[in-house]
Every structure is written in C-alpha cells, then in structure tokens.
Amino acid sequence: MLIRHRPDIPTSAITPPAVYGGRRDFLRALALGAGAAGCGLLGAGHAASGERTRFASVVPGPFSVSDEKPTPYSSVTEYGNFYEFGPDKDSPQRNAYRLRTRPWTVSVDGEVRAPKTFAIDDILKWAPLEERVYRMRCVEGWSAVIPWVGFPLNELIRRCDVTGNAKFVEFWSLADPEQMPYVRLPVLDWPYVEALRLDEAMHPLALLGLGMYGEHMPKQNGAPLRVVVPWKYGFKGAKSIVRVRFVERQPPTVWTRTAPDEYGFYSNVNPDVPHKRWSQSHERRLGEFFKRKTLPFNGYADQVAGLYAGMDLRRNF
C-alpha cells in the first residue's frame, strides 16, 4: 500500500544523532544479547492498535481543515515516534501494547495555588469532546491530516489555578521501564518533557488530545492523553502525560537537552529555516508519493503569527 512510500530521507538522517548514532548501535547490540531479553525487548511483535473504542458523543470543533482529506488511520498509527517504545518508526505500534491506561492520573504542580491531581475518567467529562481535523508536520519531512478528538488545552489550564508567576507550562510523559522497555536504555534523557509558553498553551488551537478518528487515543499515539499543537513540529506534542508543571522561566526540554543545535524551544514550522541535515521547504504526506510545499506555521499563520510578533524566528527556532 502507499504507506510503503516513506519520505525519501535516509533513515539515519531522520531521527536525531543522539538516537541514531552510538545510542542506536547500543540498542542493537543489546537486542542481540541477554540484556535485551532482560528488558523484554525481544519477540514482542504485538500491535498496539488492537484495542479500539469509539466515543459515545463527539461534536464538530472549530479550526478544522475542511478541504483536505484525512490521512488513513493505518498510516498514522503504524508510522511515528514514541521513543519510550523504541527508536524506529514502526516500534510504537509493535511495542505500545504494554502501556496500561487505567487507572491514570495527571498531577499538577509548580506555580499553582495548590497542587492537584486529576483522574483521566474525570478529565473526559470536563467539556464536550470535539473533533478537530488538523494538519500535522514532523520535523523529519513527513506530514499528516488527523481528526483529533479532545478539547482546548486551555480548559485544563483554567482548572489548575496558576499563579501570576507562571509563564511556561511543562508536560511530562510517563517513563515507566516496566511498561516502556526503552526507558531502561539511554535513548533520551528520560522522562520526555516538553513545554510551551503559557500564552501558546492557552491559544484556542492548542488541543488536549484524548483520541482520534472518533475513537479513544491509540496507545502508540500517546494514550490516554497528549498535547496537540498543530502549528509546531510534532515533537512538541508530549504523549501519555502524567504531570503538568507551571514555571516562571523557560525550562529545558527533552530535545533542547539532547540536540540543542537542531531542535529549538519554539519549534514553529518555518519552511525558510532548514534543519541542520535537511531542508524543511517541502514535505510528504503519509500515504502519498509526491511532495508538497511546506506552509509557514503549518498553514495556521493567520491564527498564531501574532504570538511571535517582533521575534526572530530564525534564532528562536
């Protein structure tokens, strides 16, 4: 099927050197030895997408891309990044079956008037679930159109009772080596932590994703909840969130710690700024053969460009 036509970028050039260099060699060596067996990395072969549950009620949401056909479900769930489950694009859909999404809680701390803990089943009841069809762009040269299910991220933030000192918000992903075998290995500096400026997180385009294609979020795509920020490169969307932390100063993130010369804090889609190892001017939609021109802010410039007025978007990449 068409999904076999991957972006014509060599595999070694797709994932950052921190993952695909010596660390990948280390992983492969481990997978051939007893160490991998001890970590449970051998012989899995399971598909994480077997458990599919539709939401009882989803309403159409604003900002949807109405003139673009959604990418096939199989393309989005069988090809992607979730390094806690492995470094290759097919690793998540093979290995994420281990993830347990119930019970699940999200803790809130930092610049808040009182720490809180939210249960996922309560979060699901906060607001009517919306379907928003968003363009998504990966820094590696591929893109997709995905019907996400969720509600505005600002709904979560409003319930956190933040102080006036809060300027940024961090999203911490689960890092459990029992469920996520690659957390045992130095693939990244665990846990996976991403962050947004508070006004970015409050923007009505930013989504707290609870599902896609009318169904609960697949495990390999970040179940049970993740961040969706459609005008930024996809790695800003932290998956399987267990902690939200509000801070006053711009925090380090997993990628600014791992490869700061390649992955900046803001990570806005800017076709005029090439990645260190490839151009960002064009992209290939999953399931398609021909490339298309990359749009500034992934096509959402009218909505979000004002957030960055006066900023040098080459330096603040």
- Band the pLDDT of 80: cuts 50, 70, 90: very high
Structure tokens at 182: 């690659």
pLDDT for residue 48: 55
* Higher-scoring residue by pLDDT: 307, 5: 307
Q: Is the pLDDT of residue 187 over 70?
A: yes
Q: Give the three-class secondary structure for 62.
A: coil
> Per-residue pLDDT averaged across 100-119, rounded?
98
Q: What are phi and psi of 36, to 5 degrees?
A: -70, -35
pLDDT for residue 16: 52
Task: Look at 46-50, 248-252, 311-315 and tell me which has the smallest mean pLDDT.
Answer: 46-50
pLDDT for residue 151: 98
Nearest by Cα to 182 from 194, 173, 170, 171 = 173
> Cα separation of 220 and 295, whole Å?
27
- Band the pLDDT of 19: cuts 50, 70, 90: low
pLDDT for residue 26: 44
The one-letter amino acid code at 222 reads: G
- Band the pLDDT of 51: cuts 50, 70, 90: confident
pLDDT for residue 99: 98
pLDDT for residue 255: 96
* Higher-scoring residue by pLDDT: 8, 228: 228
Q: Which CATH number fits domain 2-308: 2.30.30.40, 3.40.220.10, 3.90.420.10, 3.40.50.1370?
A: 3.90.420.10
> Cα separation of 92 and 306, whole Å?
36
The one-letter amino acid code at 3 reads: I
Residue range 145-163, pLDDT digits in tens: 999 999 999 999 999 999 9
Give the C-alpha distances (Å, rounded to integers) separating 207 from 144, 149, 230, 236.
16, 9, 9, 12
* Higher-scoring residue by pLDDT: 125, 10: 125
pLDDT for residue 36: 37
The whole-chain average pLDDT of the chain stands at 88
% the chain with pLDDT above 70: 84
- Going by the DSSP 8-state scheme, the letter that residue 118 receives in this structure is E
Q: Is the pLDDT of residue 22 over 70?
A: no
Residue range 254-296, pLDDT digits in tens: 999 999 999 999 999 999 999 999 999 999 999 999 999 999 9
pLDDT for residue 100: 98
Structure tokens at 303: 């909505």
- Band the pLDDT of 31: cuts 50, 70, 90: very low
pLDDT for residue 211: 98
Nearest by Cα to 159 from 120, 197, 124, 123 = 123
Instruction: Please check whether residue 124 is in contact with residue 57, taking contact to mean a CB–CB distance below 8 angstroms.
Output: no
Name the pairing type of β-strands 282-285 and 142-152: parallel
Structure tokens at 218: 């697949």
**∠ Cα 5 230 67 (to 5°):** 70
pLDDT for residue 293: 97
Q: Is the pLDDT of residue 42 over 80?
A: no
- Going by the DSSP 8-state scheme, the letter that residue 228 receives in this structure is E
Q: Is the pLDDT of residue 167 over 70?
A: yes
> Cα separation of 206 and 63, whole Å?
10
Q: Is the pLDDT of residue 116 over 80?
A: yes
HSE-CB for 310 with a 13 A CA cutoff: 0
Name the pairing type of β-strands 241-247 and 105-110: parallel
pTM (2 d.p.):
0.87
Q: Give the three-class secondary structure for 281.
A: coil
Residue range 138-147, pLDDT digits in tens: 999 999 999 9
